[in-house]
Amino acid sequence: MRRGTWLALLFCLLWLAAAAWPVGAKGESGKTAQLAVVTADRVNIRQGPGVPYRPLANVHRGEAYRLMKVKDGWANIEWKPNRTGWIAARYVALAKEMAVVQENRLRLRQEPSRDGRIIGHLAWGETVWVIKEDGEWTEVIADGTIGWVSSAYLTAARESSISHQTGIVTASSLNVRAEPSLKAARVGRLVLGDEVEIVETNPGWYKIAARTGLDGWVASAYVQVKSGQANEKKAEAPQSADRSLLSAFGQSGSRRYVDSWTRGPVQVLAGKTIVLDAGHGGKDGGTQSVGGAMEKTLTMETAGRLKEKLEAYGARVVLTREGDAYVSLPERVDIARLHRADAFISLHYDSVADRQVSGVTVYYYDRFADYGLAQSFEDPLSRLAALPFRGVAFGDYYVLRENDRPSVLLELGYLSNRSDAATVATDDYQEAVTTAIADAVRHYFE
Ligand SMILES: [Zn+2]
């Protein structure tokens, strides 16, 4: 063989070796924890950034892969450990974080608006991928569906190694398992209110360590990540490397990257958790008006309207019951504790033997913890035109006495009084009284 042939062969071999080297499998990886979440049902992963390249495998809607780099409208992703391939960038959305849903039956909408069509519901504790934020709305991928949810109901979570986060068990009994699977051996049990350290996360599972020394995997749906720590994460600025990476996306596709977790204008009640307790429910109807209206129905009506108003001020609102359900008094207090409520407001309508008695009363139990909150109702409620304000009074009610969060109980009119009963059932009154309550809450925190 002539010398020139040897050289040519060597050159070919070197070229083949270079071409076979997995692009982007080293170098900048690791640094950017950016993820590409597949947004189409079934998409090809190809050997190179273009349709002529051979397909290697299929990926599916909702699956998330580490993003290595972006080139000419193609994303290079790690589709298997240490194996990368290319996917058309228009079929992926970039997600940097996972978030945990903090509300039951959270509405997933098609557009970032209250009028957006509801395309699904998310469960409390469910983890979602965050694509971007727009005002008070966050675009997420949940179970392969892309939609918008109200940002107030999400807290950030890390995809892996959330070393310093703690969580609280929200189920009365929770199995701890050796592996993140329902089939895995049970190694122990946690109970409602147990505090655990979250060491690692897997979709749907948390690896936890309890103070007792117990460790293992639990279903993440029953562990609430403490919100205070999640806020620290939100303050983290995305790395500049990510921005240049993402500007490539901006040119190629319809998705525009918005720094994750930058919030809209600061609202008066942002960061506050208000627990609204619609009195009675289910088998417990409460009192009944002379006209036949049930207290439990009225309290739910008031809670619903109030929730909307408080949310408009940026508060996170948790209801102690959804719909016409029976919830015991200890459970109602537990909800305030678990959510670390900044204020607990119990809503009721009154009844007494004397049918002349009329008006609105604010009850508190603890002179120190509750009185300040109770007092802030005085001014807005005394300006209510429809019913007289009877004042702020001490009340020995279970939901106040056993509550370690600032709490008040509002009696919003007498169903035993014919005129009160007719008034409280009107749209005008419900609007006026919930506006007054929302004002009171705002003043309390201002
Ligand atoms: Zn009641």
Q: Does the CA dihedral 388-389-393-398 come out positive or negative?
A: positive
pLDDT at 152 over 60: yes
CA of 210 to the centre of ligand 1 (A): 39
**pLDDT tens column, 351-392:** 999 999 999 999 999 888 899 999 999 999 999 989 999 999
Q: What is the pLDDT of residue 250?
A: 33
* Dist. CA 412 → ligand 1 center (Å): 10
Q: How far apart are CA 418 and CA 390, in angstroms?
A: 18
Average pLDDT, the chain: 80
User: For residue 106, how far is its CA from the centre of ligand 1 (angstroms)?
Assistant: 27
Q: Could you tell me if 425 and 293 are in contact, meaning their C-beta atoms sit under 8 angstroms apart?
A: yes
Helix (H) or strand (E) holding 120: strand 118-122
pLDDT value at residue 243: 33
pLDDT of residue 4: 57
Q: 219: closest CA among 153, 170, 263?
A: 170
pLDDT of res. 342: 94
Ligand 1 centroid vs 286 CA: distance in angstroms?
5
> How far, in Å, is the centroid of ligand 1 from the Cα of 411?
8
Cα 348 to middle of ligand 1, angstroms: 4
Ligand 1 centroid–CA 292 distance in Å is: 15
- Write out pLDDT tens, residues 271-286: 899 999 999 999 999 9
Query: Distance from the CA of 199 to the center of ligand 1, in angstroms?
Result: 43
353 alpha carbon to ligand 1 midpoint, in Å?
15
> What is residue 11's predicted lDDT score, i.e. its pLDDT?
55
127, 158 Cβ separation under 8 angstroms: no
Give the model's pLDDT for residue 62.
Answer: 74
- Range in 115-129, 217-231, 239-253, 418-432 the model is least confident about: 239-253
Output 59 or 164, whichever has higher pLDDT. 59
pLDDT of amino acid 274: 96
Model pLDDT, residue 223: 84
Apex 375 CA angle, 365 and 357, nearest 5: 75
**Taking 70 as the threshold, does the pLDDT of residue 227 lie above it?**
no
Other CB atoms within 10 Å distance of the CB of residue 10: 10
Task: Render pLDDT for 190-218 as a digit per residue (tens, 0 to 9).
Answer: 888 888 888 777 777 888 888 777 889 98
Confidence label for 231 from pLDDT (cuts 50, 70 and 90): very low
Q: In residues, how long is the chain?
A: 446
Residues 78 and 64: their CA atoms lie apart, in Å, by: 10
The pLDDT confidence band at residue 39, using thresholds 50, 70 and 90, is confident
The answer to which of 201-210, 226-235, 307-316 has the lowest mean pLDDT is 226-235
User: Could you give the domains of the chain?
Assistant: 97-157 (2.30.30.40), 165-231 (2.30.30.40), 273-445 (3.40.630.40)
Q: What is the pTM of this model?
A: 0.45
Residue 354 alpha carbon to ligand 1 centre in Å:
17
Q: What is the 269 CA–ligand 1 centroid distance (Å)?
A: 27
> What pLDDT is stored for residue 399 in this prediction?
96
Distances (CA, A) of 444 to 168, 272, 292, 343, 406: 28, 11, 35, 10, 11
Question: What's the CA-to-centroid distance between 22 and ligand 1, angstroms?
Answer: 68
- Those residues with Cβ within 8 angstroms of residue 292's Cβ, 6 or more apart along the chain or in another chain: none
CA within 13 Å, CB half, 274: 32
How far apart CA 234 and CA 113 sit, in angstroms, is 22
The β-bridge relationship of strands 64-71 and 74-80 is: antiparallel
Q: Are 99 and 155 in contact (CB under 8 A)?
A: yes
Separation of 333 CA from ligand 1 center, angstroms? 15
Cα 295 to middle of ligand 1, angstroms: 7
Q: What percent of the chain has pLDDT over 70?
A: 81
Return the minimum-mean-pLDDT range out of 95-104, 171-180, 423-432. Answer: 95-104
Is 106:122 a contact under the CB 8 Å cutoff?
yes
Tell me the pLDDT band of 85, cut-offs 50, 70 and 90: very high
pLDDT average, residue stretch 121-138 = 83
Report which residue type is found at 237.
Answer: A
Looking at 145-154, 255-264, 307-316, 426-435, which range is the least confident one?
Answer: 255-264
Continuous segment of H or E residues that includes residue 229: helix 227-234
